[in-house]
Amino acid sequence: MQDLNERRLGSITILSGFCLSFLYVLVFALAYILTSGWVAVKVPQNTGTFGAVWGPPFLISLVAAIPCCSLIFLLKNKLVVPVGFSFLAIYYLIFLLVLHRDYSGVELAYLNQMLRLYLMPPTVVGNFLGWGSYLLLKHRGG
């Protein structure tokens, strides 16, 4: 009987994380829409440098990931938060596979660049903060 309850809890965790990942997508999209203009004006636009290219998307992702990660303090099953961020990584890989299957040449290069610029930062930052906060809380017994 215990094994069945553990499987149900695992299924519920995965399903809840999947649903929560849509909220994350919405939060990250709104963060890009609302802050990209401000960041473009405030951050110096030295083209080609690592910081100029990757700094603004990672900054926006960090600002958006903090409220998403704060959900870990509100939910009873804290594993749901990092599982939701893991689904962002799965979405990124699916988009990447579809791109390489359906496009080639200049279109593939352009779309791959856009995918890396707008989907990779939320995936990396979200998973880092989500799994980091979960493991920290688990280590501390919270």
pLDDT tens sequence across 74-127: 999 999 999 999 999 999 999 999 999 999 999 999 999 999 988 999 999 999
Tell me how far apart the alpha carbons of residues 5 and 118 are, in angstroms, rounded to a whole number: 39
- HSE at residue 10, side-chain half, CA atoms within 13 A, is 6
**Percentage of the chain lying above the pLDDT 70 cut:** 93
6, two tokens: 């553990």
The pLDDT of residue 13 is 92
Task: Enter the pTM of the model.
Answer: 0.85
The pLDDT of residue 68 is 93
Q: Residues 51-61: what's their mean pLDDT?
A: 84
